[in-house]
Amino acid sequence: MAVLALVLVAGSASAADALAGTLDLKTGLVVTDASTNLLARAAVPQATDLNVGVIQLDGPITPARRQALVNAGVVLFDYLPQYAYAADLRHADFDALRALDFVTWVGQFRDEWKISPTLGTQAAQSPERQALHAQGKRSVQVVLWPNANIKQTLATLNAMPDVHVEEHGLIDRELHATVTMPLASAAAVAALPAVRWIEDTPEITDRNATVRWIVQSNVSNNFPIYDKGIHGEGQLIGVMDGRVNPNHCSFSDPEGDPFGPNHRKIEAYFTSVGSDFHGTHVAGTALGDAGSDNDLRGVAYMARLVFDTSTAISSGFNANLNQNYNAGATIHTNSWGNDGTTAYDSLARTIDVFSYNNDDNLVIFAVTNTSTLKNPENAKDVLAVGASQDTPNQASFCSGGRGPTNDGRRKPEIYSPGCSIRSASASSSCSSTS
């Protein structure tokens, strides 16, 4: 898994060798020379100075090398190119490290490496974010190291002038906190030993009758997947978006059953009931079914819905993914994202961590409506979907950001009709709209 402070480097062995003796971070290329090598110093560094450090090797790690580092008291965190790792060095035996011929450099993890170079550069979109900016503050994501004293660090953050922790949650072993603060406080926050990374909090931008045969065969009214008896039976699909209208005929239960296993279309609705155009349209495209073969029938029309509203805050998104998974959903479709950045950030990493820990799940994102691939569709383990035209021009590009990602990966993976398609409308009880 990628650490937030790095740029993943894809390439040949020669490219890797060219970067030997450096750290290739988002904040820039760092030369790891003798002047900063703690192994070259006679005195053993104080543990308080090495809450987290960096250890660099002369080549790829092996199981034997990893065990030797463990024996020397090193706890490895995430990989940093080139051939380096962030690591807990508080209990490291430096004499033992000096004796390991494959260890070439050990240094401190510097405060300036913890601050996103784009921090504070994104324009506010929502009225709430604009008001916050007018007060001279920003909403940021503060990520802590796995070995952090969480309670103490949160208390320290809240004690800083004009700094307030709004919410927080664990993602794997790391705490992600949403914090409001002046930009001028970034250096003081980064100086806390427990802090790993600081970046802007993302802002969300919203990103079918014919769709069903186009994605199955691209032959008019030819449904080979349906013909094999597959329509979504027994499947639960997680949707995070604006509120789905549960009274629309695409989702309503004629028996009046409450949300749950007996409801015709909705297994779980984890927020207050409402009606939003975008959310209703998206859910209708995925799994809506009004009982007839028309624009109100979604692609997996026999599947059922697990729903919650969308959030671009990494801890909240992780909680929603796990909540929907625990309710039975293993496919999670999202038609929103952060158009303010192309960076691999904490939201993208949240998707990769969730997918790594739950490999029976698939997280899907519609790509941005702008021309350049944005976020979080740039995550490694997300299926990014661009929009093609509807019939008869389904082979034509309609909208969607083009890759590659910042680190050279090809995205999006697939295209599907996404322009002028018809689906459920929130404006009435049984209408469709494009």
pLDDT of amino acid 252: 94
At residue 49, does pLDDT exceed 60?
A: no
Residue-wise pLDDT for 84-123, tens only, equals: 999 999 999 999 999 999 999 999 999 999 999 999 998 8
Mean pLDDT highest for which of 19-28, 379-388, 396-405?
379-388
Inside any domain, residue 271:
yes
Inside any domain, residue 63:
yes
Helices (H), 103-218: 127-134, 150-159, 186-190, 209-216
pLDDT of amino acid 398: 75
Confidence of residue 11 (pLDDT cuts 50, 70, 90): very low
Q: Average of pLDDT values for 372-381?
A: 96
Residue-wise pLDDT for 192-221, tens only, equals: 999 999 999 999 887 655 567 777 888 887
User: Structural domain tally of the chain?
Assistant: 3
- Computed over every residue of the chain, the mean pLDDT equals 89
Pair 337, 425 in one domain: yes
The torsion defined by the Cα of 411, 415, 419 and 424, in degrees rounded to 10, comes to: -110
Q: What angle do CA 333, 338, 341 make, to 5 degrees?
A: 135
Pair 250, 321 in one domain: yes
Range 406-411 contact pairs with CB under 8 angstroms and sequence separation of 24 or more: 406/7, 406/342, 406/343, 406/344, 406/378, 407/7, 407/8, 407/9, 407/10, 407/344, 408/10, 409/10, 409/378, 409/380, 411/367, 411/373, 411/377, 411/378, 411/384
CA end-to-end span of the chain, whole Å?
A: 39
Least confident window among 44-58, 248-262, 357-371: 44-58
At residue 47, does pLDDT exceed 70?
A: no
Given CA atoms 347, 348, 349, 351 in this order, what sign does their dihedral have?
Answer: positive
Rounded Cα distance between 102 and 327, Å, is 47
pLDDT of amino acid 394: 67
Please give the full DSSP string across 230-293, using - where no structure is assigned.
-SSTT-EEEEEESPP-TTSTTT--TT-PPSSTTSSSEEEE-S-----HHHHHHHHHHH---SSS
Q: How many CB atoms lie within 10 A of CB 30?
A: 19
pLDDT of amino acid 208: 52
Rounded Cα distance between 241 and 276, Å, is 9
Give the residue from 44, 79, 111 where a domain finishes.
111
Confidence of residue 7 (pLDDT cuts 50, 70, 90): very low
Q: What is the pTM of this model?
A: 0.80
Confidence of residue 19 (pLDDT cuts 50, 70, 90): low
Inside any domain, residue 158:
yes
- Supply the range of the domain harboring residue 255: 211-433
Q: What is the DSSP letter of 315?
A: H
Residue-wise pLDDT for 295-332, tens only, equals: 788 899 999 999 999 998 999 999 999 999 999 999 99
At residue 381, does pLDDT exceed 90?
A: yes
Pair 61, 97 in one domain: yes
Rounded Cα distance between 118 and 7, Å, is 14
Inside any domain, residue 120:
no
Inside any domain, residue 122:
no
pLDDT greater at residue 168 or residue 296: 168
pLDDT of amino acid 204: 85
Structural contact between residues 222 and 311, judged by C-beta atoms closer than 8 angstroms = no
Pair 222, 281 in one domain: yes
Confidence of residue 155 (pLDDT cuts 50, 70, 90): very high
At residue 363, does pLDDT exceed 60?
A: yes
Give kind and range of the element (H or E) at residue 225.
Answer: helix 224-227
Pair 276, 415 in one domain: yes
Pair 176, 320 in one domain: no
Inside any domain, residue 6:
no
- In this prediction, what percent of the chain has a pLDDT beyond 70? 90
Rounded Cα distance between 63 and 153, Å, is 34
Given the DSSP bridges, would you call strands 195-200 and 138-144 parallel, antiparallel or unpaired?
antiparallel
* CATH of residue 313: 3.40.50.200
Confidence of residue 1 (pLDDT cuts 50, 70, 90): very low
Rounded Cα distance between 326 and 343, Å, is 30
* CATH of residue 191: 3.30.70
Buried (b) or exposed (e) across 58-84, using 16+ Cβ within 10 A? Answer: eeebeeebeebbeebbbbebbbbbbbb
